């Protein structure tokens, strides 16, 4: 169980930081205390099911991803043109190719 909480804690912290939010800002959005967010990120506690859903909506990831059931991350491309989506796909494929060549 500890391993699952640790994995979740790292994901919450990483997603929060990538979104540019502070713990206090995320807590306000979710209607909870900053201490609760801190305890999640430290792996001391885990969010309730309802808050897992809120986190997945807030960060545009699946609850399966947060819980470690799905290793894929989706990218929200709404509002991008077809050409811009193609460029994003090309970047991802380039990164994958670079990783394979380093092995």
Q: Give per-residue pLDDT as tens, 49-58.
A: 999 999 999 9
Mean per-residue pLDDT, 25-35: 98
Answer yes or no: do 55 and 100 share one domain.
no
Residue 84 structural domain: 73-103
User: What is d(CA 43, CA 13) in angstroms, rounded to the nearest whole number?
Assistant: 10
Asked if 50 and 81 sit in the same domain, the reply is no
Instruction: Round to whole Å and give the CA distance between 27 and 48.
Output: 14
Examine the domain organization and report whether 89 and 59 are in the same domain. Answer: no
Same domain, 85 and 57: no
Are 41 and 81 in the same domain? no
pLDDT digits 0-9 by tens, 51-79: 999 999 999 888 988 988 876 667 788 89
In the predicted structure, residue 47 carries a pLDDT above the cut 50? yes
Residue 101 has pLDDT above 90, yes or no: no
Judgement on whether residues 41 and 77 belong to the same structural domain of the protein: no
pLDDT band at 103 (very low <50, low <70, confident <90, very high): low
Alpha-carbon span 45 to 52, nearest angstrom: 12
Count each helix (H run) and each strand (E run) in the chain, helices first.
Answer: 6, 0
pTM greater than the 0.85 cutoff = no
Please, which pLDDT band fits residue 1 given cuts at 50, 70 and 90? very low
Express as a percent the part of the chain with pLDDT over 90: 62
Asked whether 74 and 61 are in contact (CB, 8 A), the reply is: yes
Q: Domain check: are 61 and 79 in the same one?
A: no
Same domain, 11 and 56: yes
């Amino acid at each position: 169980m500890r391993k699952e909480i640790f994995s979740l804690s790292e994901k919450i912290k990483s997603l929060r930081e990538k979104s540019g939010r502070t713990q206090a800002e995320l807590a306000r959005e979710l209607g909870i205390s900053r201490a609760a967010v801190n305890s999640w990120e430290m792996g001391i506690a885990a969010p309730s099911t309802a808050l897992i859903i809120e986190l997945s909506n807030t960060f545009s990831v699946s609850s399966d991803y947060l819980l470690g059931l799905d290793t894929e991350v989706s990218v929200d491309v709404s509002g991008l043109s077809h050409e811009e989506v193609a460029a994003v796909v090309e970047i991802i494929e380039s990164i994958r190719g670079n990783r394979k060549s380093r092995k």
